[in-house]
């Protein structure tokens, strides 16, 4: 009986040790996963930011070209497009900083 109890105690101790090791590994893996998710979020945010900035810059360029192509007879239209161009440039500059 004494020998069986000792074996059982050893088995319980081994299981407890293995559980502790498993918990440590799980915590480590959870930390690595959280870090990877955070890095991925930052990467996506950077890419979206860069893409938005490029699109705004291209919009400003397109509006500037449109202004050059417009006949000079419609000052209201020219002023409206000029304001849109300025807004696009300001937004692009704000995103860049």
Q: What is the pLDDT of residue 6?
A: 86
Q: Tell whether pTM > 0.85.
A: no
DSSP 70: S
Burial class (CB in 10 A: 0-12, 13-18, 19+), 84: middle
Alpha-carbon distance 37 to 27, whole Å? 15
Q: What is the pLDDT of residue 21?
A: 93
Q: What is the pLDDT of residue 73?
A: 78
Q: What is the pLDDT of residue 52?
A: 87
Reading the chain (97 residues) residue by residue, the pLDDT tens digits are: 677 778 888 888 898 899 999 999 999 999 999 999 999 999 999 888 888 888 888 888 898 898 888 888 788 888 888 899 899 888 888 877 7
SS3 labels along 17-66: HHHHHHHHHHHHHHHHHHHHHHHHHHHHHHHHHHHHHHHHHHHHHHHHHH
Q: What's the sign of the alpha-carbon dihedral 70, 85, 54, 49?
A: negative
């Amino acid at each position: 009986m004494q020998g069986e109890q000792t074996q059982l105690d050893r088995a319980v101790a081994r299981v407890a040790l293995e559980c502790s090791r498993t918990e440590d590994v799980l915590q480590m893996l959870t930390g690595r996963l959280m870090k990877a998710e955070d890095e991925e979020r930052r990467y996506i945010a950077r890419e979206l930011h860069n893409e938005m900035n490029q699109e705004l810059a291209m919009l400003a360029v397109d509006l500037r070209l449109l202004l050059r192509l417009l006949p000079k007879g419609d000052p209201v239209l020219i002023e409206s497009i000029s304001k849109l161009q300025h807004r696009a440039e300001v937004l692009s500059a704000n995103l860049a900083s």
